[in-house]
Amino acid sequence: MSLDRDTLLDIYTRTMKVARFDEKMRSLLMSGKLATIYYTMRGQELVTSAMMAALNQDDYLVTTYRGQHDQIAKGVPLDLLIAEIAGRATGTCKGKGGSMHITHPATGVMVTTGVVGSGLPIANGLALSSQNRKDGKVTVTCFGDGATNIGAFHEAMNMAQLYKLPVIFLCQNNRYGEHTAFADHTKVDSIVTRAAAYGMKGVKVDGNDALAMYAAAREAVDRARAGEGPTLIEAMCYRMMGHFFGADFSYMPPDHIEEMKAEDPLPKLNALMLEHQFTQAELDAIVAKLEAEIEAAVEFAFNSPFPDADEILKDVFEEEIAA
């Protein structure tokens, strides 16, 4: 499997944008400049970048609280995203949603849910709309291995296959459901085996391998767009840090974390780029540009006003109604 240079570069750029954003967020949190709940995606940057590189801008995305990588890879502007995380009036959601509820329909990000598994049934509805309207759009919903043990996952998988919906279930198997290791919450070896229970096509892929991940994403997108129905992709990756920033993660064996560093998608992707005749200088220049973009976005966010208190009465209903 090989990839054309444009696609590779696209995946690399999305991945590094996510990675540098995440570093910046963690440094802002560490220094106390930012105080908010933040779920790092360290270790999962590539999975989503390869998936989003296979989508069109107007395709739909539904993701979950650990979803900043999905939103950035889908194209949500960094200034609006960071302003939202920082609770500013200029954020995507006017500061009312925060990192767990990022919404940006202009880039197809329709829902970010803070409830594990709840995005899957909603993704079906977006896909059902596309099927009825014949608008050719594909819906992707991202979730972790922990979400596959809640009823919504099973109901949604069954309905998607029943209606042959143009939807892709992207399970980012990061080996932990919150603080519980995969083997302690699930007795099957692989999430992908569950696809068979619904007569659905399932693909297990190394989410840290750009070529394999893109190939799986591409095939699922093409199938969905061609009306051939949904796909469950189980992308293997590893959550290299705790459940949320600052949380205790002593339950993650340190030697295993050390071992999993060999799978880190970032150095692997860098090596792949060099193999494909990109120079380190070219790559560094891309990253430097991304860093400048992130710095500017942070500055925009921190210079933005906080929302007015009267916002709490707006957007409850279309019209403002006294309770």
Buried b (16+ CB within 10 A) or exposed e, 228-245: ebbbbbbbbbbbbbbbeb
- For position 111 contacting other proteins by CB under 8 A, the verdict is yes
- The pattern of x and - marking residues 136 through 155 that bind other proteins according to CB under 8 A reads ---x-----------xx--x
| Residue placing its CB nearer to other proteins in the complex, 197 or 292 | 197
Answer yes or no whether residue 33 interacts with other proteins by CB under 8 A.
no
Measured in whole angstroms, how far is the alpha carbon of residue 178 from the centre of its chain?
A: 16
Give the residue from 85, 150, 148 showing the smallest Cα distance to 112.
85
CB of 108 to other proteins, least distance (A): 11
- Cα separation, 116 vs 122, in Å, equals 12
Q: Nearest to residue 110, comparing CAs of 118, 101, 149?
A: 101
Residue span binding other proteins (CB under 8 A) among the ranges 41-49, 51-59, 65-73, 86-94: 86-94
**Least gap, CB of 92 to other proteins (angstroms):** 7
Would you say how long the chain is, in residues?
323
Interface with other proteins includes 94 (CB under 8 A)? yes
Measured from the CB of residue 178, what is the shortest distance to other proteins in angstroms?
A: 17
Residue 280 has a CB neighbour count (10 Å cut-off) of 10
Q: How far is the CB of 116 from other proteins (least distance, A)?
A: 10
Out of 40, 44, 124, 173, the only residue in the binding site for other proteins (CB under 8 A) is 124
For the CB of residue 102, give the shortest distance to other proteins in the complex, in Å. Answer: 9
Q: How far is the CB of 60 from other proteins (least distance, A)?
A: 8
Q: Which of 16, 34, 54, 122 binds other proteins (CB under 8 A)?
A: 122
CB of 110 to other proteins, least distance (A): 5
- C-beta closer to other proteins: residue 77 or 97: 97
Task: Give the DSSP H/E element, type plus range, for residue 177.
Answer: strand 176-177
Distance CA 250, CA 272 (A): 33
Q: For residue 56, which of 209, 212, 225, 208 has the smallest C-alpha distance?
A: 225
Angle (nearest 5°) at CA 80 between 77 and 86: 135
Region 147-206 residues binding other proteins, contact defined as CB under 8 A? 151-152, 155-156, 158-159, 162-163
The residue from 7, 29, 36, 96 that contacts other proteins (CB under 8 A) is 96
Compute the least distance from the CB of residue 114 to other proteins, in Å: 8
Place of tokens 């709490």: 312
Q: How far is CA 212 from CA 55, 113, 134, 296, in A?
A: 16, 28, 30, 34
Interface with other proteins includes 88 (CB under 8 A)? no
Phi/psi class of residue 108: alpha, beta or left (left: φ > 0; alpha: ψ in -120 to 50)?
left
DSSP state of 118: T
Contacts to other proteins from residues 54-73, by CB under 8 A = 60, 62
* Binding residue (CB under 8 A) for other proteins from 53, 123, 168, 252: 123
36 binds other proteins (CB under 8 A): no
Q: How many CB atoms neighbour CB 130 within 10 A? A: 21
Q: Does the footprint of other proteins cover residue 110 (CB under 8 A)?
A: yes
Interface with other proteins (CB under 8 A): 60, 62, 91-97, 101, 103-105, 110-111, 113-115, 118, 120-133, 139, 151-152, 155-156, 158-159, 162-163, 314-318, 321-323
